[in-house]
Amino acid sequence: MNKFYSEIEKILDYKFKNIKLLNEALTHSSIKNNNKQKRIFNYERLEFLGDRILGFIISDLIFKKFPNFQEGDLSILFQKYTNAKFLSNAAINLNLNKFVIVQKGDSLEKKDSIMSDLIESLIAAIYIDSNLENARLFI
């Protein structure tokens, strides 16, 4: 296992059984496939699932933690912890921006939408590689 993967696993506090999932979660769609026979996977599908997992876990958490809050108050809290800026800041604070795999010449590593998508793709990768509880622990 190379240093690249062990370093990010240390940050995530999670060791992948299927390292291909981690690679897919880190790969931006700017990486083009030169070999037409082989499909290059990127994080877009994982990001789709991770967004839903994040939404469920945050909803569940705030619903239980704030039993007296009305729907509007819950929605405000939900938006605070699931918006692109918050997720991007979390990714950058964890130094995940240095692990995103982008096409040479692209400097997307600190763009809010890319960093928030990266967090969501990692959530899904952890979930698929193990279970909802490990995804919850990462979140």
Supply φ then ψ for residue 116, to 5 degrees. -70, -40
CA distance 47 to 116: 9
Q: Which amino acid is at 90?
A: A
Catalytic residue, candidates 24, 109, 117, 120: 120
Element (H, E) at 132: helix 132-138
9 counts as catalytic: no
CA distance 21 to 103: 19
117 counts as catalytic: no
Catalytic residue, candidates 51, 109, 117, 129: 51
Q: Give the residue numbers annotated as catalytic, written as ranges.
A: 51, 120
